[in-house]
Amino acid sequence: MRHVISVQVENKSGVLARVAGLFSARGYNIDSLTVGTTERQDVSVMTIVVKGDDKIIEQVKKQLNKLIDVIKISDHLISNSIQRELAILKVSVSPSKRLEVFQLAQMFKAEIADMSQKNMTLSIDSDPESLDKFIELLRPYGIKELIRSGRVSLLRG
């Protein structure tokens, strides 16, 4: 199962390695990990998206909690949080198909960031599901390059 774990940590060096180490030591590949600053200067938040057996993820969360530099951990579900991710895609689009892609972009509130003879570069920030869908719809045109930022997430309410 895919888990989104939000970890509040001390904003200092070495913390990222500690957190990542708990996953890598178990042979877990993290799908995405973002680190960002927060409203508090001395606190960062890591948003970790990882696939894994529920029991093992539970154990990893307990181990994360044991880290001295970890302040708080929460599980984020689609239902209880606002989740966003940014992607930039370079798609090869012949002039005749440009309009199609343009319309698709409009529908998903994506932005045309750059354009050349052969390529269109689009940027989109949205909830991860729409983002997945957008990427799927663009695939037939030929995605030459794609980069995703990893998720950020904030609990609702």
Kindly list the residues in this chain that would bind another protein in the complex (CB under 8 A). Answer: 9-10, 13-14, 17-18, 21, 25, 59, 62-63, 65-71
Measured from the CB atom, the residue of 61 and 90 that comes closer to another protein is 61
Task: Tell me how far, at minimum, the Cβ of 83 lies from another protein, in Å.
Answer: 24
Nearest approach in angstroms of CB 15 to another protein is: 10
Choose between 25 and 113: whose C-beta lies nearer to another protein.
25
Q: How far is the CB of 68 from another protein (least distance, A)?
A: 5
Please list, in sequence order, all residues whose beta carbon lies within 8 angstroms of the beta carbon of residue 105, skipping any fewer than 6 positions away: 111, 112, 122, 124
Q: Which is nearer to another protein, 18 or 84 (CB)?
A: 18
CB of 22 to another protein, least distance (A): 8
Of 32 and 63, which CB lies nearer to another protein in the complex structure? 63
The most distant pair of C-alpha atoms in the chain lies apart, rounded to whole Å, by 57
SS3 78: helix
Contact by Cβ (8 Å): 152, 85:
yes
Q: Compute the distance between CA of residue 14 and CA of residue 148 in angstroms, rounded to an integer.
A: 24
